[in-house]
Amino acid sequence: MLLLLFGVLLVIIGLLLCFLDNHLEKSILLGVLYTILGIITICYYYWMYKTMGKRMFKKMPDFSNEYHYDFSNEGINIKSKTIDSDVKWDYYKSALISNDIILLYPNKLRFNLFPKQNFSQEQYDWLISIIKSKIEDYKNFIKNN
């Protein structure tokens, strides 16, 4: 955000320098330079913002591995090539449940995503009932047909 503000500030200063009434060649040249640098800074900020997730994903090779989740009344066992972890239900602070997907949130910035297509109807219904009994703060967006 600071980078965006810096870019906007550069553009404003550049435009002011260009349109001041003194008509000095140096101030006009400096104004054009500041304006161009400001526009480049703003474009760079938006590029960084749009590509952040993709760049972070590439830096985390564990996410390209296949994960296996085993659900129980005690929690979730998560396994991959490099991870074998038992996560208790109280680790998750909130949940979002819908007809097609379940999101479990350990905090406001992270979540685990479980699409319905990876479960049978019976397994999905069981998982929903466990989540409702183990996680107090859940949002139910299931639409009954």
Identify the pLDDT of residue 73.
94
State mean pLDDT over 3-17. 93
pLDDT tens column, 82-98: 889 999 999 999 999 99
Q: What is the DSSP string of 4-50?
A: HHHHHHHHHHHHHHHHSTT--HHHHHHHHHHHHHHHHHHHHHHHHHH
- Same domain for 74 and 26, yes or no, is no
CATH for 132: 2.30.29
- Same domain for 51 and 69, yes or no, is no
Identify the pLDDT of residue 104.
95
From residue 61, alpha-carbon distances to 64, 77, 80 in Å are 6, 20, 12
Query: Is this structure's pTM higher than 0.75?
Result: no
Identify the pLDDT of residue 23.
66
Strand partners of residue 97:
102, 140
The residue out of 28, 59, 90 marking a domain boundary is: 59
Tell me the C-alpha distance between 74 and 85, whole Å. Answer: 13
The residue out of 59, 76, 101 marking a domain boundary is: 59
- Same domain for 69 and 55, yes or no, is no
Total count of domains within the chain: 2
Tell me the C-alpha distance between 80 and 85, whole Å. Answer: 9
- Same domain for 102 and 81, yes or no, is yes
Tell me the C-alpha distance between 104 and 126, whole Å. Answer: 15
pLDDT tens column, 20-69: 766 677 788 888 999 999 999 999 999 998 998 788 777 776 666 788 89
Higher per-residue confidence, 28 vs 102: 102
Could you tell me the residue range of the domain that residue 120 belongs to?
63-141
Q: Which tokens go with 77?
A: 């066992």
Strand partners of residue 96:
103, 139
Neighbours of 92 (CB within 10 A): 22
State mean pLDDT over 110-127. 92
- Same domain for 53 and 76, yes or no, is no
